[in-house]
Amino acid sequence: MPLSRRIHKFLEKTKKKKVDKKNEDEDDESDAAIKVQERLRKKVTNLIKKQKLPAVRQIVEGQDDTKPWNQDAKAKVGSHLIELLTQSAYIQPPADQLADCPPDIRPAFRHSFKTVVKENKKTGRRYGVIECDPLVRKGLERTAKHMVMPYMPMLVPPVKWTGYDRGAYLFLPSYIMRTHGAKQQREAVRRTPGKQLEKVFEALDTLGYTKWRVNKRILSVVDRIWTSGGRLADLVDRNDVPLPEKPDSEDEALLRKWKWKVKSVKKENRERHSQRCDVELKLAVARKMKDEEGFYYPHNVDFRGRAYPMHPYLNHLGSDLCRGILEFAEGHPLGRSGLHWLKIHLANLYAGGVDKLSHEGRLAFTENHLDDIFDSADKPLEGRRWWLKAEDPFQCLAVCINLTEALRSSSPETFLSHIPVHQDGSCNGLQHYAALGRDKLGAAAVNLVAGEKPADVYSGIAARVLDIMRRDAQKDPAVFRDALHAKALVNQVDRKLVKQTVMTSVYGVTYIGARDQIKRRLKERDVITDDKELFGASCYAAKTTLIALGEMFQAARAIMNWLGECAKIIASENQPVSWTTPLGLPVVQPYRVFGRHLVKTSLQVLTLQRETEKIMVKRQRTAFPPNFVHSLDGSHMMMTAVACKKAGLTFAGVHDSYWTHASDVDKMNRILREKFVELYETPILENLLESFQQSFPTLSFPPLPERGDFDLRDVLESPYFFN
């Protein structure tokens, strides 16, 4: 129950008792009890006046005897509220309706049943659906100003975290972890002593205390594009694709083709509708906050310990649109190093291969495009629109404007910049594996060691794949069946073909997953038109890519396999895999078999999912390696956040992308490298194995994988570790 409701209930309860005592001759309660209630009421009232909410919460929660509703009660009340909505909400008749016509009044929402039949299945499942009238749906995508958004950015700093449900928002229910109903995970965090979680609390408070504001010039450009129908800078088209006309023919083949086109267009229009609603929600928040001096994003963590803003729409974890609209509320003078990093940042945002150049190459790119940058800043939509060619156009435009103002000022180095400058990890999951395994070859591939320019792991894997395919193409097809596939693919191998598979290798991508990823890339190129040939080529390319990955990242593969084996042993005992992150946060993998539970409501019979005691063994095994690495990258980000705060830096983080003012990038770079080394100088895998052995003394776990001799301190001197 929200705190405001609890306070109201407490005040009413104590007030009522006072009145009862005055009006009745006999009362079951003693004078002493009444006086205690009166004193408590007075104390709470005074604390509210002094805005001491934590103390109010403690008293009120101690007096609250309300029991939470169970899942069945919530389902029944929720269904009845929906039923009341369908019975009472109607569409108003249009303003231009003729007076002598009956009013066109119809329900805004309808409850009906639909049967959904999956492909290749004869029978379907019947679902209850709530449908909006088309006018309501159209209105929602036109404006989101009437939408209720409870977890808005805060105008005052968030309440500091002190417990599982104590911190962040002043009155809204706030929980430090998003458990999504996983009872065991929730209880594990609740049981953890506050002292153990102090570092997590401090990191989340640091992220929540970063003050933001809306970049009004970017918002103005976005509004102009959106008003004109979208379609620029990755904004969705505000108009639907027209449905194809039905052919005036009895030809079955033509009609089938037409039906397929109609289905495809309807799917495209549904996606556009969803994207338009998403843009409207983001813009509604931006317009609401644009005149505020600054605002804050309270943060919490997912079950692995990765931090997220609690407000879901306009935040720095969002798309280029969100990131372009947001900037730090506090400005810092650029200084010489800040001007240098602002230019590099612009090249990184432009991307298209420019972000793979050395720092000097990126600086040269920006210097060579100053005319385009000035034109973009002066005439974003009327000029040459150079900024629209960038991979992140709105962020690129924001930097174009900032850099233009700085360079035109009388003293560029004293110019106040509000732009957050990013430093991103290079295939960060593999960086963590290379550090865990002290893997020299892997470390060099993902920039843990210094180089003249950034190593590109995707190009490295593509080169290995190409070598293998060239050798295979020379073989006799009668002996080696894939020789023909190798010949067909030799000219198709590039970093784009293998990039998604390399990225997802950290998350335990399977052979089938890799095959489907590569098949999509090949299909886009339309080089192999025969479906059977395309499938065979995709199978061969996936197998070859995974071989190349295994060769380059042997240590990573060994650690992944070891983690998976440990998880399998634990899950086979019908126990979830659990561990504690380096910052003391307990993690319990939530993967259990769900049971079905029927609840009869006034609307329909609902089928609810409920956790059972049975563990999903395969899911526990496959999810553990990526979840464990995510808990480590979350720890690294939190350690960096706290250290940056102590050094007086403004800091924001998006998993493996760390942000600060341009003038402070050098300091942040030093800190994030030091914290990475500090993290991996602790015996992480040894501690994990020891915790497993203590929790399951009767089980036998495989020995730790062998480690290489990579010197972690090389990271301190690597300019492209994060860049």
CATH of 332-417, one of 1.10.3210.10, 1.10.287.280, 3.40.640.10, 2.60.40.420: 1.10.287.280
Give CA–CA dist 79/601, Å, rounded.
6
Which among 282, 356, 499, 675 is annotated as catalytic?
499
Residue 689: the pLDDT is: 97
Taking only the tens place, the pLDDT of each residue in 160-200 is 999 999 999 998 999 999 988 888 999 999 999 999 999 99
Give CA–CA dist 60/6, Å, rounded.
7
Which among 355, 633, 656, 664 is annotated as catalytic?
656
Strand partners for 606: 599
Which among 165, 424, 666, 714 is annotated as catalytic?
424
* Residue 152: DSSP 8-state: P
Domain chopping of the chain, boundaries: 3-63, 71-132, 332-417, 440-552
* Residue 707: DSSP 8-state: -
Residue 564: the pLDDT is: 94
Taking only the tens place, the pLDDT of each residue in 564-588 is 999 999 999 999 999 999 999 999 9
424 belongs to the catalytic site = yes
Q: Tell me the CA distances in angstroms from 23 to 26, 30, 39, 110, 126, one per residue in order.
A: 9, 15, 20, 50, 58
Residue 533: the pLDDT is: 87
Instruction: Identify the weakest region by mean pLDDT among 120-124, 686-690, 709-713.
Output: 120-124
31 belongs to the catalytic site = no
* CA 230 remoteness from chain centre: 24
CB of 633 closer than 8 Å to CB of 424:
no
Residue 505: the pLDDT is: 80
656 belongs to the catalytic site = yes
DSSP for 54-111, please give it.
HHHHHHHHHH--PPPP-HHHHHHHHHHHHHHHHHH-EEPPPTT--TTSPP--EESEEE
The pLDDT-based confidence of 116 (bands split at 50, 70, 90) is: confident
Residue 18 has pLDDT above 50, yes or no: no
Note the helical H segments in 572-664: 617-646
Fold of the 440-552 domain = DNA polymerase; domain 1 (1.10.150)
